[in-house]
Every structure is written in structure tokens, then in C-alpha cells.
Chains A and B, each alone.
Chain A
Amino acid sequence: MIGGLFIYNHKGEVLISRVYRDDIGNAVDAFRVNVIHARQQVRSPVTNIARTSFFHVKRSNIWLAAVTKQNVNAAMVFEFLYKMCDVMAAYFGKISEENIKNNFVLIYELLDEILDFGYPQNSETGALKTFITQQGIKSQTKEEQSQITSQVTGQIGWRREGIKYRRNELFLDVLESVNLLMSPQGQVLSAHVSGRVVMKSYLSGMPECKFGMNDKIVIEKQGKGTADETSKSGKQSIAIDDCTFHQCVRLSKFDSERSISFIPPDGEFELMRYRTTKDIILPFRVIPLVREVGRTKLEVKVVIKSNFKPSLLAQKIEVRIPTPLNTSGVQVICMKGKAKYKASENAIVWKIKRMAGMKESQISAEIELLPTNDKKKWARPPISMNFEVPFAPSGLKVRYLKVFEPKLNYSDHDVIKWVRYIGRSGIYETRC
């Protein structure tokens, strides 16, 4: 499927090269010339040159490219490239030129295992760690050998038997990214939240877990009444548009009773990914006011209102107010945080370290413009925001995560459980 895989640094020098098919001859150079050193700034992730397709992904300043002459499933190739990056990161941390150079032997070993003859093979990090040898020989005992084969071909490929921990703990992270596009009149043009539930479990044996959240369909099924009643009693539920689960979740149970039950892999894994588009709590409301004074001045006033419980604190708040290209000087006044005009980015960047809920902050700026002969009307780019909030903007709440391991002597109560919610801004734009 994949004819060749190449990794380049930012200069276009080849760090890793693996060719699987004979017809990928000069692809290495072709990619460098046509993509890395191309004059355009942003290149499409798929490039077609002379009946050869180049798919690439960039991580910091490293280029990973997959080349093929066949009609392949594009999404599959990108997924493989992401997986490749994940596996490398799991072994040696950040993907940088130095790390790649220091671990190039390991990378070749990995490529052999996960992309034999250009076809993706087993790429589960857990299984790989058992047979990629890093330091010295591991003369395997018969037991270990049989464990490896059973893990790879056994019923449950993602968890091996006989795991023991003194302290049984699990951590649930609900990581969400809220995206918003708002019109100048304050109307929501499009908003969606994409989230993932990541679980880190340190549990002994082969525990059965059941995950419950405030899913609208489940609550209605449980006969707690119609939607009106639930909102009256203060219990909020969320309607999930679509969700996908890790391989370990039993989908048949989800389809029939909407319950999420699974035997988790040891350590960290992503339990589910979901998207919601309804009833989103937009953590911030941005109200812009722009006034043009003649042709030489622009008065901008932006108010941000935080829309969540007063006891919670939002962090790392950054508001970017774009300025025209012919700006000569900017004067800003803000009561909270620090605002600076960055000429190189054509924007006023206002940073607030922390902000509690149900509060308001304001910034006013006077932008002086250079007189131009250009009669070009400045199309105002939207005001964008970045922030981090300790709750889930979709409204998702973890109701329970029950653990059953009948064979060992610990019960659900003995397991120490931690939950945290991290909501981040994705593309959060307000047009003005």
C-alpha cells in the first residue's frame, strides 16, 4: 500500500528513509523539491506529482511523508502517520530532529514491525513494547514467549493477565475543545464541542468497568421523567451527536442499553470521543464595538463576559483583536491583565491569567492608521479567544465509574478514583 516512508527535518534533509516498492525511485527528492521548498506557505496535505501521491504530516519542524502510486484509502494513510508519531513519542518523547537522530535504530525497528512491505501491521504500543528490543538481549523464557503470542492472538489483545497493583487507582480526564463562530450581531453561526474521555487505570486483574454519564437518552430511559422535569430538578443532561469508542468497549451493550462497559487496557488510553452541538455552555461571550473615526483612527472596545459558576476560574485567557495592516500606533487601556500590540502579527494580544465566572472585563484601544492611497477596504478578521476552563462546556458530567473484579479481593469502594474536566478553546471566533 505505502510505497515509501520518509522523515525529513526542516531543511529537507532526509533523516529516515524506507522504500518498500521499486517504483518509488526519486520520490525522496521530489517531495523535498515540490513540497518542503515550495514557494507557497501552506501546502495541502496531499500532493499529486506524476501519478505519485505524497501524503504528509508535520510535527514541530519535522516532516513525515508517505508515498504511493496506488489508489489508497487516504484517511488510512494519515491515520497510520499519526499512529507512527504516537508510537515514536511513546518511546522517546517529543518528535524532534535530535531525538530522531539518537533513536534512528529504534525507528527502523519500529518501521519493520508496524509497516511490513508497506502494509500496516500490529501497532498497539503495549504489544510492541514486548517485542521491540531496546537495550540488550532479552532472552525470553518460555513463559514470556507464550505470553507474547497469547497477547497478540488471544481473546483480549489489549490487556494481559496477572497485572497487580498495591493501590488500585484510576484517573478520568474529560478533555474538551469548544469551537464557536459568532456573527457580529451576537448570533451563534455554528458551535460544537469535540471531546475525549481519557482514562488512566492502574487496576489489578481483569476488571470489568462500567462508565456512566449524564447522557440524555439514558436519563429519559430511567424514567426520571421528561426533559422538563429533569431541568426542574436541576439535573442537566447532554445530547451527544455521535461518539466513537475504544476497541475494548462492548458496542452491543451500548446499542441495546446505552451502557458503556469494558475491560480497560492497563495504563492510559482514550475511552471515547464524542461531539455535541446542542446546549453548549459557551464559557465566554465577546462583545466587540468598532468605530471608525475618519480615515485615520479606529476606536475599538471589546467586552468579555465569563459565563459559568463564580466559584470556577478560567485560565490562560488570551484575546486577539486584529488590526489593519496600515496601523501606525496603538494605545490600549485595560483594567485586568496585560495587553500589547504586536505589529508582526497585526493584532492586539490581551492576556489575562485568571478570571472567575460571572465577571466582566473590558479593553479599549485607539488605533492610529497611516494614510494610504490604497482604497482597499479592510475586511475585519474576527476576534479570536483562547482559554482553559475547569469544566466541560458540553455539560457532560461523569456520574459513575464502577469497577468489578470478582476474582480478586478488592471491591469498587477500594478503588481510588479521580475525575477532572478540562475545557479548552478550539476555534473560538467572534466576527465584528
Chain B
Amino acid sequence: MPYLGSEDVVKELKKALCNPHIQADRLRYRNVIQRVIRYMTQGLDMSGVFMEMVKASATVDIVQKKLVYLYMCTYAPLKPDLALLAINTLCKDCSDPNPMVRGLALRSMCSLRMPGVQEYIQQPILNGLRDKASYVRRVAVLGCAKMHNLHGDSEVDGALVNELYSLLRDQDPIVVVNCLRSLEEILKQEGGVVINKPIAHHLLNRMSKLDQWGQAEVLNFLLRYQPRSEEELFDILNLLDSFLKSSSPGVVMGATKLFLILAKMFPHVQTDVLVRVKGPLLAACSSESRELCFVALCHVRQILHSLPGHFSSHYKKFFCSYSEPHYIKLQKVEVLCELVNDENVQQVLEELRGYCTDVSADFAQAAIFAIGGIARTYTDQCVQILTELLGLRQEHITTEIQPES
């Protein structure tokens, strides 16, 4: 988009927004506002029509309201004096009978990143925390975090924090999770939200009612809870066992991490934990989605760093298919290198040897490097293979082998 014409565009839109004919026709009015937003997204400076947009926010049309609020949230930091005018409408909308309008207004007000807005936000947020509709409560809880983010230096409001802690017992599952996130941000200086025994047990009991995002978050927060006794530990493991087989890969990974960390605290439980975790992780490594496959492979590598040889019997799962993307093949080769043991070394070396003559020079070199790594323990076989490869006299292979020897 040429920036040269932006002034003309702004003038034209200003005229259109002030035109009473357009204002009377709901659809046309909305179209003009949509054009403003479009130019804004493309990078043109639309702050010239701020006044007209503020006037447009006084409407019954929810879609139009959303558009105007979006505009205001983007430009408020640039024109703080004008934005204060908009706040009046927003405050009014926070008491609208329709819960969606209330939620929308509250959310927009909290996203106004400009100094001085704090005094106006506090009351609506407090009202929102006690609103009948769960939709509004969710927005209000996150609003507390946004408010704190804006004014990082100010003191933490103790009353607000207490209110949020009590909302952890709310009926609506999303409100509960939002509370955790909010408290985490607000109490960052003190190390985040405190997960004590009653809170941990309360969360564990509600896990099944949460959606996948909530479950992943709670699993993350539970990392900081330390079970006092082995009995408690096993209770937790049994409760969370089903999440290892969740249909959401994010939840599976979160549960895996929690299990492994719990195992570190009680080492003799480690074997049991690893057995439970192995299945889902291996399944994820052959996932159809490439990104999740990549993430799972990275996790497997991490586990092998601390517990080498754990997946050794499943080495075949890490053989590379020709059509897999580069980044997955590289991860698999690294994993193969780490899980070599007496039983599978022959087959693994043969497979790696096949990769050394691959079309892609990067991949071939990675395979050679891996053979070099294995050579530290199984010198004879590796040296034999490397000598054979040298015999092929291919430059990129030879350069890689030299440092190995």
C-alpha cells in the first residue's frame, strides 16, 4: 500500500463517517468502519479519524461496537486525551443488560494501553468479578492481569488478590483457570501463585471438567506442588494417569513433564513413571502432524539425555522415511545415536550407513557424525563402516569423516 496517499484516504473516510446519510444506514456505516480497520491493518495511519470513531461507538450494533473498540485499542496509546472520551461509553456498556456487551466493553477497556486509565478501570473490573454471567467473570479475571501489566510498578492490591484466590472455587472451569493465570502474572515478583495442598487437591478434582487448554495449564501449575508422602504421590499419579492418554497432545506432554518431575523427587518411583509415559510418547513420535512429531522427538531426546537407553527396544520406530521433512530426520538420527545398545547396534549402524549416502549433504553428514558418536563405544564396527565410506571418495563424506578419525 503506498503511504503517499494516506492523507487523502483519511480525509475521505472522515467525510464518510460524518455523513448523516451514512450514519443512518447501519450497513453502510459498518462498511466504512471496516475500511478504516482494513487500512489500519495494512499499516496506514488512521489516527486522524479518532473523534469520528469515538462517536461511532455509541451504537446498538454489536459488530460495529467491536470494530470501534478494536480501533480504539490500537490508537489509544497515541491519543490519550481523546481516548478518555471513549471511556465514558465503555463504562456505560459495562452495565448493559446483555452479558456479551458487558464482557466486550470490559475487555476493550482493559486493553486500552495508556497511562491514567487505571482509575477508571478498577470499579468495572471489581463489578465484573462478581457478575452473574460467567462470560463477564472470565474477562474480568484476565482484566486484573492486564491492569497489573500496565502498571507494573504499583503495589499489588491485597484485596484483589484475595478475591482472585477465592474465585478459584468458581463454578465455571474457565474462570478458575483464568484466575490461576492472572494470579501468576500479578504475583510474579513473589514467585507466582502459591499452590498449597487444598488448592492442589481442588484443582486435581476438577481436572476432568476443564477443557484441554485448562488441563494443560493446571498440569503446568501443579509442577510446583510437592506431595508430602508417597501415598499422596501415588494418588496424584493414578488420578492423572488418564491424561497421559488424552486426545490432546499438549495435555499428554504436560502430563509427561509432571510425571517425570514427580519421579525425580521420589527416585524409586521412576521406573514405574517411565513405563507409563513411554507409550504415549512413542505414539506421538509417529504422529501424522509434523510439528507434533518434531516436539515429541525433542522430548524423547531430553529424556534420553538423563536416562540413556530407555527406548532402546523401540529403535525401529526412529528409522527415517525418505519423504519426511529434514528437521524430523535430523532429530531421529540424534535419537538413534543415543539409544544404541549391544542388541541393536548392528541394525542401527546399518540403517545409519544407508543414510550416509543420502542426496542431502546435511543429512548425510549428520548420519556420519552419529556413527562417530557411536564409535566411542563400539569402535570396531564403526571404523569398518567409516573406512568403507571413505572408499566411495565423495567429498562431503570424506570431509566429515576426517575429524572423526
**Which residues of A are in contact with B by a Cβ distance under 8 Å?**
1, 14-17, 21-22, 41-46, 55, 57, 73-80, 82, 104-105, 108-109, 112, 116-117, 119-124, 131, 133-134, 136-138, 140, 145, 149, 152-153, 177, 179, 181, 189-190, 192, 194, 241-247, 251, 255, 273, 275, 325, 375-377, 379, 381-382, 384, 426-427, 429
In contact, B288 and A105 (Cβ under 8 angstroms)? no
* Complexed CA–CA distance, A117 and B143 (Å): 9
Q: Is B349 an interface residue (CB 8 A)?
A: no
A interface secondary structure, majority: mixed
Given A78-B289, A116-B139, A427-B321, A73 and B174 touching (CB < 8 A)?
no
Q: Is B280 an interface residue (CB 8 A)?
A: yes
Given A149-B133, A149-B134, A189-B316, A137 and B357 touching (CB < 8 A)?
no
* Complexed CA–CA distance, A46 and B326 (Å): 13
B interface secondary structure, majority: helix
**Would you mind naming 18 contact pairs between A and B with Cβ atoms under 8 Å apart?**
A15-B41, A43-B327, A44-B294, A46-B295, A75-B249, A76-B250, A76-B254, A78-B249, A104-B38, A116-B142, A119-B213, A149-B135, A152-B172, A243-B245, A251-B242, A375-B393, A379-B354, A429-B322
Q: Is B290 an interface residue (CB 8 A)?
A: yes
In contact, A79 and B63 (Cβ under 8 angstroms)? no
Name the distance in Å between A261's Cβ and chain B's nearest Cβ. 16
Q: Select B286's contact among A44, A120, A194, beta carbons within 8 Å.
A: A194
Name the distance in Å between A100's Cβ and chain B's nearest Cβ. 11
Please give, as numbers and ranges, the residues of chain A lying within 8 Å of B171 by CB-CB distance.
Answer: 153
Residue interface bits B277-316, CB-to-A below 8 A is 1, else 0: 0011001101111111011101000000000000000001
In contact, B357 and A377 (Cβ under 8 angstroms)? yes
In contact, B107 and A44 (Cβ under 8 angstroms)? no
**Which residues of B are in contact with A by a Cβ distance under 8 Å?**
26, 34, 37-38, 41, 43, 60-63, 66-67, 70, 98-100, 107, 113, 133-135, 138-139, 142, 145-146, 149, 171-172, 174, 177-178, 181, 211-213, 216-217, 220, 242, 245-250, 252-254, 257, 279-280, 283-284, 286-292, 294-296, 298, 316-317, 319, 321-327, 354, 357-359, 392-394
In contact, A42 and B254 (Cβ under 8 angstroms)? no
* Complexed CA–CA distance, A243 and B245 (Å): 7
Please give, as numbers and ranges, the residues of chain A lying within 8 Å of B60 by CB-CB distance.
Answer: 137
Name the distance in Å between A164's Cβ and chain B's nearest Cβ. 26
* Complexed CA–CA distance, A224 and B321 (Å): 40
Please give, as numbers and ranges, the residues of chain A lying within 8 Å of B290 by CB-CB distance.
Answer: 45
* Complexed CA–CA distance, A379 and B284 (Å): 30
Closest B residue to A320 using CB positions: B323
Please give, as numbers and ranges, the residues of chain A lying within 8 Å of B41 by CB-CB distance.
Answer: 14-17, 104
Q: Select A242's contact among B149, B220, B245, B294, beta carbons within 8 Å.
A: B245
* Complexed CA–CA distance, A181 and B252 (Å): 27
